[in-house]
């Protein structure tokens, strides 16, 4: 049987990549502070010599690099989470697939965000909570509601008799 790469990735995330994350942001912040010390923000009287100018320029370039490194960390985290969510949704699709072509659904009574606007951003296909409103748990109903409010989508027809 093929090895479970998802479990391997999960281990990598929880044991190596995840624990390292915060310290990397802290590292970049520290490095940025060091650069700040060379860009004239330190409050030291500035002496205009060509040597100082090049130190300042180098520090500014390094700050730029630091910002890029930080933005990439942030961007890649988002992509990673999105990929996991896509994968989980696909798992559900597979779970629901029946050769007979019967439209399968999540067991009724469970939170199900299928087909809701922007569910890929705010939803969790594996949400184990019972549905209380709009076929979703309270937290996901609220997330759906906020998503639509934020995007100018009508929410006035939400009311469902319990």
Instruction: Sketch the per residue contact string, 77 through 116, with Zn ion: x for CB under 5 A, - otherwise.
Output: ----------------------------------x-----
- Which of 38, 85, 140, 147 is the binder for Zn ion (CB under 5 A)? 140
- Which of 35, 59, 66, 137 is the binder for Zn ion (CB under 5 A)? 137
Instruction: Write down the least CB distance from residue 23 to Zn ion, Å.
Output: 32
Range in contact with Zn ion (rule: CB under 5 A) among 5-13, 24-32, 38-46, 122-130: 122-130
Range in contact with Zn ion (rule: CB under 5 A) among 28-36, 54-62, 85-93, 137-145: 137-145
- Which of 127, 132, 145, 148 is the binder for Zn ion (CB under 5 A)? 127
Long-range contacts (CB closer than 8 Å, 24 or more residues apart) made by 112-121: 112/136, 113/140, 113/144, 116/144, 117/144, 117/147, 117/148, 117/151, 117/153, 118/144, 118/147, 118/148, 118/151, 119/144, 120/82, 120/85, 120/86, 120/89, 121/147
Residues in the site for Zn ion, rule: CB under 5 A?
Answer: 111, 127, 129, 137, 140
């Amino acid at each position: 049987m093929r090895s479970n790469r998802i479990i391997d990735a999960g281990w990598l995330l929880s044991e190596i990549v995840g624990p390292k994350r915060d310290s990397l942001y802290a590292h970049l912040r520290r490095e940025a502070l060091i650069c700040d010390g060379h860009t004239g923000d330190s409050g030291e009287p500035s002496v205009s010599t060509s040597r100082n100018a090049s130190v300042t320029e180098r520090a500014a370039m390094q700050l730029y690099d630091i910002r890029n490194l930080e933005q990439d960390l942030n961007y890649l985290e988002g992509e990673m989470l999105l990929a996991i969510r896509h994968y989980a949704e696909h798992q559900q699709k597979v779970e629901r697939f029946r050769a007979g072509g019967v439209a399968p659904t999540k067991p009724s009574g469970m939170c199900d965000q299928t087909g809701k606007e922007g569910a890929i951003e705010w939803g969790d296909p594996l949400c184990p909570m019972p549905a209380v409103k709009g076929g979703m748990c309270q937290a996901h109903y609220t997330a759906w509601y906020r998503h639509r409010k934020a995007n100018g989508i009508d929410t006035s027809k939400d009311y469902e008799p319990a």
